[in-house]
Amino acid sequence: MRLKHIKNADIIISNSKYLIKNPELYKGKWKTLFNNKNDIEIEIGMGKGKFIISKAINNPNINYIGIEKYDSPLVTAVRNLEELTLPNLKLICFDASNINDIFDKEISKIYLNFSDPWPKKRHTKRRLTSPNFLEKYDKIFKNQKDIEMKTDNDLLYEYSCTSFSENGYEIIKTDTNYLDEYRTEYEDKFISLGKNINYVHVVKK
């Protein structure tokens, strides 16, 4: 899906109190930025932010970091946050393929919501549930590795379940018609169109 370009998106998000402009500076010490020792959970590919903002509002004792590669979707997120005060939420405009540059053994859970399926075989390594990415995630988890994934793409779901299993993850729950309390903008759209939502929760000790 082509992203809509928003003029001056980089300037708009850079002025947000939620945006962390130099995330590399906090590698291994994100708890000092939040000023507490609460668990840190991240969403990779947060888009316009509906999911992670709702999470932060309803779970004040958990710290959240939303990661989005493109600045245009983040404009909606920062605008929705203008009237809110959420000390447990930070945003990063960053390419997750370099995630080991900004985290080190400090993340408790990763959320992967409606990631790009990269359907062509030659692009398999770009999928956020490929062995390539799972190896990167292993290095940023604090203790137990914990991932929750949702997708409308049935083939990505099947691929991901296999990838998780082959890389040491235990599947805790799967659902091919999942209804979540916390939804993304894409999720609302797909549900309204009658499309099933695939969900998988995995852990690795």
List domains and CATH numbers for the chain: 9-204 (3.40.50.150)
Catalytic residue of the set 104, 116, 138, 175: 116
Does the pLDDT at position 123 exceed 70? yes
User: What pLDDT digit, counting tens, does each position of 51-107 carry?
Assistant: 999 999 999 999 999 999 988 889 999 999 999 999 999 999 999 999 999 999 999
Long-range contacts: 128-134, Cβ < 8 Å, 24+? 128/44, 128/45, 128/96, 129/156, 129/159, 129/160, 129/163, 129/164, 130/163, 131/163, 131/166, 131/167, 133/96, 133/97, 134/163, 134/164, 134/167, 134/169
Better pLDDT: 5 or 58: 58
User: What pLDDT digit, counting tens, does each position of 180-196 carry?
Assistant: 999 999 899 999 999 99
User: What pLDDT digit, counting tens, does each position of 14-52 carry?
Assistant: 889 999 999 999 999 999 999 999 999 999 999 999 999
Does the pLDDT at position 4 exceed 80? no
Long-range contacts: 184-192, Cβ < 8 Å, 24+? 184/47, 184/48, 184/50, 184/51, 184/113, 184/114, 184/150, 185/47, 185/48, 185/50, 186/47, 186/113, 186/114, 186/152, 187/51, 187/113, 187/114, 187/150, 190/152
Mean pLDDT of 111-135: 96
Q: What is the pTM of this model?
A: 0.94
Q: Is 116 a catalytic residue?
A: yes
